[in-house]
Amino acid sequence: MVNLKTTPFTDIHIALGAKMAEFAGFNMPIQYPTGINREHQIVREGVGVFDVSHMGEFWVKGERALDFLQYITTNDLSVIPAGKAQYTCMPNGKGGIVDDLIIYKYSTTKYLLVVNAGNIDKDWEWVNKIRDSRADFSEVILDNASSKYGQLAVQGPKATELLQLLTDADLKSIPYYAFREWSFAGVQGVILSNTGYTGAGGFELYFPAEAGRQIWDALFQVGEPFGLAPIGLGARDSLRLEKWYCLYGHDIDDTTSPLESGLGWITKLDAKDFIDCDFLRRQKAEGVQRKLVHFQMLERAIPRNGYTICDADGNTIGHVTSGIMLPTTKVGIGMGYVCTPQAVKDNTIYVNIREKLQPAQIV
């Protein structure tokens, strides 16, 4: 673990007996003694807390902040009001994706970008490169505040009820993909965001890193009646895959276009001009050659990243990008790119697992 970055909660994870491993340069908990399957169920049925302090935070400010963000991202940021968040991605100028991210809109001149942990340095270099390459963006203010923030994701059907005990902000009045900056557990200026990466509901909390222990302790002081438990990155992956959420570096990356990867819904080609918009307009008109599909195994088997996907005759038609055995149903599910003619709902495809073609159905 030499030279790995830590979060405000690393010592807590170790004390709780978590299995620790490197992730995006950080020493992170993969699972606790309860195990991934149980942690998955806790979030689906009750409430769990994830340390996601490894994520990156960039401030973008100034009179041209909106124009800058409209140019470097695919979604239309102009349509959301202050206090709302938006999921989007940054195209790389070559038809691929620099990163997917969430943008929090404070005003037309102030935004917070939350980027993937493994892409912090790459994203920071990219936004500065674009800002510095255009005279009309020269006054846009960029601030990498990643090291200043801690972040906890409190997820599950009981999350809101638990969190409400620690703030006088009316959490039920905060719509999905909206946020408030409020006092929480005695800490001022905590961002309470009705977002998450599990599909189970709940909030993501952003706060000064030095306040992390205070917030963690407060959560567990009130969380016992709710069955609150710490959850590792293993269950975070199974939960997001069960919900079909993409993971950067697996399902999307610098070689995949938003249209190939099912992110056409955040690619507003008719609303504005942005990096790669002409390429993506042509791609949409001509049709993509491959598509990211979701599938479930028809027999007991686990698809893994990198496995080949074939047709019934054994011809390669794509590859798996993510896959697991679901803790809930004990069915193998996965995501992968498949050539467009085969990427049809209900179509049977075959995953090459140890030289055996295992059938799966696109769902």
Per-residue pLDDT averaged across 105-114, rounded? 98
Q: DSSP readout, 290-329?
A: EEEEEEEESSS----TT-EEE-TTS-EEEEEEEEEE-TTT
The CATH number corresponding to 289-362 among 1.10.580.10, 3.40.50.720, 3.40.50.300, 2.40.30.110 equals 2.40.30.110
* Overall pTM surpassing 0.95 (yes/no): yes
Please report the pLDDT score of residue 1 as a whole number. Answer: 46
CATH of domain 10-54+148-242: 3.30.1360.120
Per-residue pLDDT averaged across 34-53, rounded? 98
Banded pLDDT at 221 (limits 50, 70, 90): very high
Q: DSSP readout, 120-182?
A: HHHHHHHHHHHHHH-GGGTT-EEEE-GGGEEEEEEESTTHHHHHHTT-SS-GGGS-TTBEEEE
Interval 163-212: pLDDT, tens: 999 999 999 999 999 999 999 999 999 999 999 999 999 999 999 999 99
Interval 326-346: pLDDT, tens: 998 999 999 999 999 999 999
Is 65 in contact with 110 (CB distance < 8 Å)? yes
Checking if the pLDDT of 43 tops 50, the result is yes
- Report d(CA 48, CA 155) in Å as an integer: 5
* Domain coordinates in residue numbering, the chain: 10-54+148-242, 289-362
% of residues, the chain, pLDDT over 90: 99
Please report the pLDDT score of residue 2 as a whole number. Answer: 67
Checking if the pLDDT of 356 tops 50, the result is yes
